[in-house]
Structure 1
Amino acid sequence: MATTRVWDVFVRVFHWSLAASFVVAWLSGDGWKSLHLWAGYAVAALIALRLVWGIVGPDHARFSRFVKSPLVVAGYLKDLVTGREVRHLGHNPAGGAMIIALLVTLLGLCLSGWLMTTDAYWGSELVEAIHETLANVALVLVGLHVAGVLWTSFRHRENLVRAMVTGRKRAAGPHDVD
């Protein structure tokens, strides 16, 4: 079966590093403050790099490639529910929306976490509540992301987890979106 490179090394290292940093931050949130802070800073740095790469990186890494309008995302989700969704070589419209939702949520999480270290907001119950809420929203989004990856892998008979490790996917067929 012919394959093609879709995700470059940076995108793949970013993806798994972000996942690991988020897990470390989540697990260290209640007991290991220093580790929690450094994991949060790692998340923030990774996202900053990804934002730049989303503008200057290769084709499938660019936001312009996979961020679609809400109408396109809704149409894709409708097709998904009815079993008529087409396979996308890169991220599908729902995947693109999930990436944006995760990036925005994680940035808010990093910002609220950082604010809690400042003199102005140290001890602020409001900022702490925002931070905890965003952490829970991030967990829900991660769960939805994993479910979407598993569902799409099943529907299109393609191991997307392996593709995010190797960078390669099955080459686009005549009915696929490149």
Structure 2
Amino acid sequence: MGATVKVWDPYVRMFHWGLAGTFVVAWLTADELRDMHEFAGYAAGALVASRLLMGLVGSRYARFRQFVRSPGMVVAYAAAMVRKREPRYIGHNPLGGIMVIVLIAMMAALSLTGWMQTTDTYWGVEWVENLHETLANVLLGCVALHLCGVAYESVRHRENLVAAMVSGSKRKPDVGDVA
């Protein structure tokens, strides 16, 4: 692989795979195994809460200020992608940064609406159940879009991003890369 640089710390990697795992478990157990479904939802909510904290005080590439970009930067990056001239980012690129925020927000909303259904106030309330199910379906679509983006970037920049999220390491920056 050549020279590498550590990007994703153990917390970010455990959060990423933990959140993915809790979503899969919750999705697969939604209609059959209520206790496991609820446990996965609570675990996802706890992971989101910890990620919000680490987004403020975590390592360099975990911090929101490192990857949340202005709308102008996002548009410019998307335009560069269309022309196949987008730079390689060592952390999240501007579109990837938006996806991180969307996935965290969607999972937070999903966890919240799931919890609401366990309270006396919202138990059996149809709009809460419908919102929870709709959020799960929209989140599934966002996950699919995320996977497409990972595949595109992996091919485009000749770097296995799945392996990077396992090892924490990426290829060292080249000239023109954004660190």
> In the alignment, is residue 117 of structure 1 matched against residue 150 of structure 2?
no
Amino acid corresponding to residue 161 of structure 1 in structure 2: V
> In the alignment, is residue 138 of structure 1 matched against residue 133 of structure 2?
no
**Residue 160 of structure 1 aligns with which residue?**
161
Question: TM-score under structure 1 normalisation?
Answer: 0.98
> In the alignment, is residue 45 of structure 1 matched against residue 61 of structure 2?
no
Give the Cα–Cα distance (whole angstroms) in 2 for the partners of residues 18 and 105 of structure 1: 12
Amino acid corresponding to residue 29 of structure 1 in structure 2: A
Give every structure 1 segment of 4 or more consecutive aligned residues whose post-TM-superposition deviation is greater than 6 Å. Answer: none
Per-residue CA deviations over 1:46-70 (Å, capped at 9, x if unaligned) read 0111111111111111000001122
Give the Cα–Cα distance (whole angstroms) in 2 for the partners of residues 108 and 70 of structure 1: 23
Unaligned runs of 5+ in 2: none
Give the Cα–Cα distance (whole angstroms) in 1 for the partners of residues 58 and 108 of structure 2: 20
Give the Cα–Cα distance (whole angstroms) in 2 for the partners of residues 71 and 38 of structure 1: 40
**Residue 56 of structure 2 aligns with which residue?**
55
> In the alignment, is residue 85 of structure 1 matched against residue 86 of structure 2?
yes
Deviation of 1:71 (Å): 1.9
Q: Percent identity?
A: 54
Per-residue CA deviations over 1:56-113 (Å, capped at 9, x if unaligned) read 1111110000011222112111111221110000100000000000011111101111
SS at match of 1:90: coil
Give the Cα–Cα distance (whole angstroms) in 2 for the partners of residues 35 and 71 of structure 1: 42
**Residue 35 of structure 1 aligns with which residue?**
36
Give the Cα–Cα distance (whole angstroms) in 2 for the partners of residues 142 and 97 of structure 1: 13
SS at match of 2:102: helix
Give the Cα–Cα distance (whole angstroms) in 1 for the partners of residues 83 and 28 of structure 2: 38
Deviation of 1:163 (Å): 0.3
Amino acid corresponding to residue 130 of structure 1 in structure 2: L
76-85 or 120-129: bigger deviation: 76-85
Amino acid corresponding to residue 70 of structure 2 in structure 1: S
Give the Cα–Cα distance (whole angstroms) in 1 for the partners of residues 139 and 46 of structure 2: 17
Amino acid corresponding to residue 18 of structure 1 in structure 2: L
Unaligned runs of 5+ in 1: none
Question: TM-score under structure 2 normalisation?
Answer: 0.98
RMSD (Å) for aligned C-alpha atoms = 0.6
